[in-house]
């Protein structure tokens, strides 16, 4: 891209089916919120159009009110407006029941529901006379925006609008994604390495000239160990040792683990093949063997995998009740029982042994809380975690110091290689380990840099 020039504010509209914290399933929901906030902080105008699910977490929506209705697609669509994390959100509620399903994903007709939503969102822009500079759509679920816009709306009052499409995970709906790649003016994915890993995929390969890897960031205000009511002793890198000690004790107490000074490995993950389930299991047993503690917060969309973990939990909770706790739910932000951030703060290590990982947010959030990432070298994990033993030069090339432990391979020996060194470092060199915690907290994995990259991309799209 060219250099940054001071230009008038842009108007960017995200059309998305997830948004943290009110309708979050995975990283896509985090990114819609945190990227929007970062771009808004650069003085641009950002709106989000989201389905008004019946399962929205409305306690995080401020000033929600009904605005108007319009007819489209054989039904009435109610438009609601509210503020979420300081962002202006339009909620569309078609009266045909498409968003009254008690879930974001998981219906047989998801593709039809989301296709309808995408079309309704464009119709909403069109009928309201809104002419954003950029419409930004995400993954297969709002991919239809790209071609519906070009086929139906571009010529009707939205001619100055350009479409940007982001692939958060190519595993889902590659067919839709290929079509959106063809129609979008610019496309991105969420890390440089993942962009190279998927470059040969038929959905992506023909479109490399307009395809860029831009790393996700995390929102430093939303994830802040110094400013969070769930953290017993607020901390920054200055008092990270004290802060994390208190957080660990609170976590142990909350979960009924032995209050002991042993290395604690945290895992926060969807439990799917992508996340390296067999490596997660292997690492749990290895950690216990090395006298460490393990806390896992995870949920499996596949009932067979969920069952498998329920069995493992039963086994561990009786054989290692002092050492292991598996919470097989999705953290309910309001239940405060096993809040993700208590794990981020209370753990010494966060393990992310994914088989593939487009960007990964858990390792970034872990570092924000002074927890050391232990990851498999793939996608965004490769781009953000630099091994203290093996990656000094690679880190230096990025202007960084090494910040964690990583491994190749996809078997037990691989994950052992990283985890054993991590646990040994904890046992053998606490001063060094503490300085590593301080170091990772001071690294910048925020949106500061990536938001500028997106702005350049948006400007480039306008010239496209």
CB 25 within 8 A of CB 104: yes
Q: Rounded distance, CA 386 to CA 377, Å?
A: 9
| Binding of ligand ADP by 298 (CB under 6 A) | yes
Q: Which of 12, 15, 17, 27 binds ligand ADP (CB under 6 A)?
A: 27
Q: Does 11 bind ligand ADP (CB under 6 A)?
A: no
Q: Does 18 bind ligand ADP (CB under 6 A)?
A: no
Binding residues among 237-276 for ligand ADP as defined by CB under 6 A: 268-270
Could you give the residue ranges of the DSSP H alpha helices within 296-378?
303-319, 340-346, 362-368
**Judged by CB under 6 A, does residue 340 bind ligand ADP?**
yes
Q: How many Cα neighbours within 13 Å face the side chain of 251?
A: 34
Q: Of the candidates 23, 26, 125, 417, which one interacts with ligand ADP according to CB under 6 A?
A: 26
Beta-carbon count within 10 A of 110 CB:
18
The HSE-up count of residue 220 (CA atoms within 13 Å, CB side) is 12
Q: Which one, 326 or 425, has the nearer CB to ligand ADP? A: 326
Work out which of 12, 17, 30, 403 binds ligand ADP, going by CB under 6 A: 30
Between CA 84 and CA 420, with CA 328 as vertex, the angle to 5 degrees is: 105
Q: Which is nearer to ligand ADP, 72 or 309 (CB)?
A: 309
Nearest residue (CB) to ligand ADP, 137 versus 359:
359
Specify the residue, 119 or 325, whose C-beta has the smaller distance to ligand ADP: 325
Pairwise CA distance, residues 239 & 244, whole Å: 8
Residue 330 C-beta: closest distance to ligand ADP, Å: 4
Angle at 276 between CA 275 and CA 277, to 5 degrees: 100
Q: Which of 326, 347, 329 minimizes the C-alpha distance to 262? A: 347
Asked if residue 440 binds ligand ADP (CB under 6 A), the reply is: no
Three-state DSSP at 455 gives helix
Total interface residues for ligand ADP by CB under 6 A: 17
346 binds ligand ADP (CB under 6 A): no
Neighbours of 192 (CB within 10 A): 17
From candidates 51, 360, 404, 414, binder to ligand ADP by CB under 6 A: 360
Name which of 130, 55, 28, 57 is nearest 36 in CA terms.
Answer: 28
As measured in angstroms, the least distance from the Cβ of 26 to ligand ADP is 3
Determine if 105 is a binding residue for ligand ADP (CB under 6 A).
no
**361 binds ligand ADP, rule: CB under 6 A:** yes
The DSSP code for 418 is: H
| Residue from 96, 299, 306, 420 binding ligand ADP (CB under 6 A) | 299
Residues near ligand ADP (CB under 6 A) are: 26-27, 30, 268-270, 297-299, 330-331, 340, 359-362, 365
């Amino acid at each position: 891209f060219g250099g940054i020039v001071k230009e008038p504010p842009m108007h960017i509209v995200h059309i998305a089916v997830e948004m943290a914290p009110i309708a979050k399933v995975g990283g896509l929901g985090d990114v819609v919120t945190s990227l929007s906030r970062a771009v808004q902080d650069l003085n641009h105008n950002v709106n989000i159009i989201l389905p008004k699910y019946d399962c929205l977490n409305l306690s995080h929506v401020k000033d929600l009110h009904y605005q108007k209705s319009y007819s489209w697609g054989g039904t009435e669509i109610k438009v609601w407006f509210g503020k979420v994390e300081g962002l202006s959100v339009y909620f569309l509620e078609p009266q045909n029941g498409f968003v009254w399903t008690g879930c974001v994903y998981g219906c047989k007709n998801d593709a039809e529901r989301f296709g309808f939503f995408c079309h309704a969102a464009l119709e909403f822009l069109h009928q309201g006379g809104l002419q954003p500079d950029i419409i930004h759509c995400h993954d297969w679920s709002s991919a239809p925006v790209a071609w519906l816009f070009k086929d139906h709306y571009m010529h009707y009052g939205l001619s100055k609008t350009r479409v940007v499409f982001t692939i958060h995970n190519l595993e889902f709906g590659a067919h839709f994604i290929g079509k959106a790649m063809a129609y979008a003016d610019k496309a991105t994915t969420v890390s440089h390495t993942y962009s190279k890993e998927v470059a040969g995929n038929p959905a992506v390969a023909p479109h490399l000239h307009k395809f860029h890897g831009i790393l996700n960031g995390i929102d430093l205000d939303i994830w802040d160990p110094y400013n969070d009511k769930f953290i017993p002793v607020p901390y920054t890198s200055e008092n990270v040792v004290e802060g994390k000690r208190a957080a660990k004790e609170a976590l142990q107490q909350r979960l009924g683990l032995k209050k002991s000074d042993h290395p604690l490995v945290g895992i926060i993950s969807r439990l799917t093949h992508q996340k390296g389930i067999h490596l997660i299991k292997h690492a749990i047993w290895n950690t216990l063997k090395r006298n460490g503690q393990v806390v896992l917060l995870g949920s499996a969309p596949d009932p067979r995998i969920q069952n498998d973990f329920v069995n493992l939990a039963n086994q561990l909770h009786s054989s290692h009740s002092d050492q292991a706790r598996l919470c097989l739910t999705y953290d309910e932000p309001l239940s405060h029982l096993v809040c993700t951030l208590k794990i981020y703060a209370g753990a010494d290590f966060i393990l992310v042994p994914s088989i593939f990982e487009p960007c990964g947010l858990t390792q970034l959030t872990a570092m924000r809380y002074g927890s050391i990432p232990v990851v498999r070298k793939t996608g965004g994990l490769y781009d953000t975690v630099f091994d203290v033993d093996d990656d000094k030069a690679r880190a230096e090339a990025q202007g960084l110091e090494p910040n964690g432990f990583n491994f190749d391979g996809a078997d037990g020996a691989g994950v052992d290689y990283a985890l054993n060194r991590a646990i040994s470092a904890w046992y053998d060199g606490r001063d060094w380990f503490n300085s590593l915690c301080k170091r990772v907290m001071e690294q910048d994995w925020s949106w500061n840099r990536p938001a500028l990259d997106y702005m350049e991309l948006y400007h480039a799209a306008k010239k496209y």
